Structure 1
Amino acid sequence: MSQTSDIIIIGGGIAGISAGARMAADARITVLEAEDAIGYHSTGRSAAIFIRNYGNATLRALNAASEPLFMQPKGISDNSLLTPRGLLYVALEEHLEDLEAILEGATGMERLSADQAVARVPILKRDSIAAAAVEPGAQDIDVDRLLQGFAKMLRQRGGSIVNKAPVTAISRTNGTWTLQTPQGSFSAPVVVNAGGAWADEIAKLASVQPLGLTPMRRSAVILPAPEGHDVTGWPLFACAGEGWYCKPDAGKLMVSPADEDPTEPFDAWPDDMVLAEGLHRFEQAVTVPVTRIERSWAGLRSFFPDRTPAVGFAPDAEGFFWLAGQGGYGVQTSPALSALAADLCAGRTSTLPDTVVQALAPNRLIKS
């Protein structure tokens, strides 16, 4: 099998699928996914919540630019992809500076007393709370509906998704990239590297300078709801010092140690010691013990050194486009980043502020 497109996208996570859907309005698109199905790795393991005040200034601008699509997902879904949840930060004395850093430049956040925090989440230990704050506008994201909606848009616009197609070799001749996979060869003048944790490895295959991506493992467990409590209406609640976070999930509690352990790219699984340490930190903040883990899993969040994604053409390889390093922000920034990627590949001016576009440019990460 040999197939020619205008743009080949490597990676069928939310980054690659959303970008492909946007680009398919102007070009012939092929998405190559290594696994049996799209969204297998980080996308399918996301905590899935829209937090406007999450990340650095560049990411917060992307969050704000993405919100309208989640609320009115024309062409993706018939109704909003968001459901009210809320986000509560609690701080011990040693985390007061961390909470202030979260509040700095934030919009729509409110400070709370310890009593107000406990009123929202009754299992919190009141005496250990030195300060608290809430983002009432944080909302759950229907990730599957988002991903499948973008995939449907991509196909309706004539694009294709090829599963079980890990890229094994990349070459470029006479302005055309050729990619080898178990499903055959694929050629296009433009390649989009949306390979998630594998993005630097993909660059190396293409003889493009890697940008210093670090995959980091993030673990989580499902716990039964505390006896006597209906957790359905609770907000996501988290340690301001990033020692743990907890989100109601289908009548149970999803708890993460908020770990970020650097690793090689792989099909991640949780480390028992990391889980035990994180659950211990969680237990110190609540009045109920952890007695049973129903399920555990892990995923990879990949960051560049400045914790900002790279979106744009590589300065050292014509037709090689970076769309990587979304860290833990990939799902909630996908509307803005996919639109930016489509604009840049089509030679259009982005609607994002130029300062944001420049902050995302890959050339900032190239070592001289």
Structure 2
Amino acid sequence: MKRYDIAIVGAGIAGASLAAEVAPHASVLLLEAEDRPGYHSTGRSAAFWSETYGGPDIQPLTTASGPLLAAGGFLEPLGSLHIGRTEERSAIDAFLVEFEGSGVELRAVDPRDMLPGLRPEWTLGVYEPTCEYIDVGGLHGAYLAAVRRAGGELAVSANLEGATRANGRWLLDTRTGRFEADILVNAAGAWADPVAAIAGARPLGIQPYRRTMLQLRTDPAPPEHCPHVAHIGGSFYFKPEAGGRLWLSPHDETACDPCDAAPEELDVAITIDRFEHVVDWRVAALEHKWAGLRSFAPDRLPVYGFDPAVQGFFWCAGQGGFGIQTAPAAAKLAAALLLGKPLGAEVAHLDAGRYAPRRF
């Protein structure tokens, strides 16, 4: 039975990014329940880097992550167009007010000037020019590679089945064997509360939600330089992809148990119907459909820090749909808390207490 300083449950973007930050300073084991990392959420993400996504409490993490993502070559220009109908003026105004003074660049536009084929009732628009694509696979792979280079280890098909604290150490039983670690990190995404229960910690009410995604081919194809387009009321978003394809979501959040999520046919039909009420483009083909899980704490903020009641148990969970766009800054913040070090320059301005588990 090999002993590690830190065992991290979950090798999605949360666990992988945190492991990459701490592996140069401690011996690290990543425990992944599936046969490959990032299967449930990270690998099914339509991620984009948008400073407004997740709201003003998430924006500092997103903004701090931007330069780090850019430096790694993981961003490409996209832009985001938030649209609304005339009767949604108050929502547009509230959105602009929400980010006043944040440094996020937003400007009111006529959306019809930016999106050919937009139906006439969509009269209101706010453009967020800094929104960018994220190379999710590249980012996740880079973190896992960094873990390996620093001597960290990954165990797949290693579902956590038992965790016992004794003599200042965790004894961890998994499908692939028993491991020992001084600190146990809960980066289990949708399974964060069940992992907490296994370790004897109080679950925080982290709820998984299913989100539907479709890949479409349209006629006409999305115009050149088409931005990410999102309803200010939160009923859809879509963005162009390679080969003239379009990724489309109804922005659904259906509470569910942790699972291998699959799209429901009714959600697929609703998604296409909503899209057809936005633009006059014909849906030429539905090429692919899938669903992923997004997991939120009750206040919809992520949870980073040591559990106040269970010694040696650390939370890195509740990242919702913004886990990838915030990963670089979140991992640096969480790593500093985990290792007991001061916050680095990139994240020194962040309020770690805002995300601490003791807030519950």
Same fold, TM-score > 0.5, yes or no: yes
How far apart, in 2, do the equivalents of 1:278 and 1:108 lie? 29
Aligned runs of 1:56-205 on 2, under 5 Å? 56-73=55-72, 80-103=73-96, 104-105=98-99, 107-113=104-110, 117-125=111-119, 127-205=120-198
1:35-68 per-position Cα deviation (integer Å, ceiling 9, x unaligned): 1111111111111210012223231000111111
Structure 1 231/164 Cα, relative in aligned 2: closer, same or farther at 3 Å? farther
Residue in 1 that maps onto 2:40: 41
2 CA distance for matches of 1:57 and 1:239? Answer: 18
What amino acid does structure 1 have at the position aligned with 2:122? Answer: I
Task: Give unmatched runs, 5+ long, in structure 2.
Answer: none
CA separation of 1:35/1:210 partners in 2, compared to 1, >3 Å: closer, same or farther? same
Distance 1:139 1:293 in 2: 25
Contact kept, 8 Å, 2:219 with 2:284, in 1: the verdict is no
Contact 2:214 2:290 (8 Å CA) reproduced: yes
Per the alignment, residue 314 of structure 2 pairs with 321
1:77 alignment counterpart = none
Stretch of structure 1 that moved more, 269-278 or 250-259 = 269-278
Q: Give the partner amino acid of 2:335.
A: A
Q: What amino acid is aligned across from residue 319 of structure 1 in structure 2? A: G
Q: Structure 1 residue 230: deviation in Å? A: 4.9
What does 1:139-288 correspond to in 2, within 5 Å? Answer: 139-227=132-220, 229-250=221-242, 251-288=244-281
Code of the residue aligned with 1:39 in structure 2: it is G
Asked whether the 8 Å contact 1:62–1:336 carries over to 2, the reply is yes
User: Using the alignment, how far apart are the partners of 2:284 and 2:218 within structure 1?
Assistant: 11
Q: Which has the higher helix share?
A: 1
The residue type equivalent to 1:7 in the other structure is I
Residue 98 of structure 1: how far off its partner (Å) = 2.7
Stretches of structure 1 that go unaligned for 5 or more consecutive residues are: 74-79
Q: 1:124 corresponds to which letter in structure 2?
A: L
Identity among equivalent pairs (%): 40
**Given that residues 219 and 275 in structure 1 are in contact (C-alpha distance below 8 angstroms), is that contact kept between their aligned partners in structure 2?**
yes
Q: Tell me how far apart the structure 2 counterparts of residues 259 and 42 of structure 1 sit (CA, whole Å).
A: 15
Instruction: Report the aligned-residue RMSD.
Output: 1.4
Q: Any idea what the Cα deviations from partners look like across 1:145-204, whole Å, max 9, x if unmatched?
A: 111111111111110111111111111111111111111111111011000000001001
Q: Give the Å deviation of 1:291.
A: 4.8
Distance 1:47 1:101, change over 3 A: farther
Structure 1's consecutive aligned runs of 4 or more residues displaced over 4 angstroms after TM superposition are none
| 1:231–1:252 CA contact under 8 A, matched in 2 | no
Equivalent residues of 1:96, 1:130 under 8 A apart: no
Tell me if the contact between 2:222 and 2:246 (Cα under 8 Å) persists in the aligned partners. Answer: no
Are the counterparts in 1 of residues 218 and 282 from structure 2 also a CA contact under 8 Å? no
Corresponding letter in the other structure for 1:52: E
TM (norm. structure 1) is 0.93
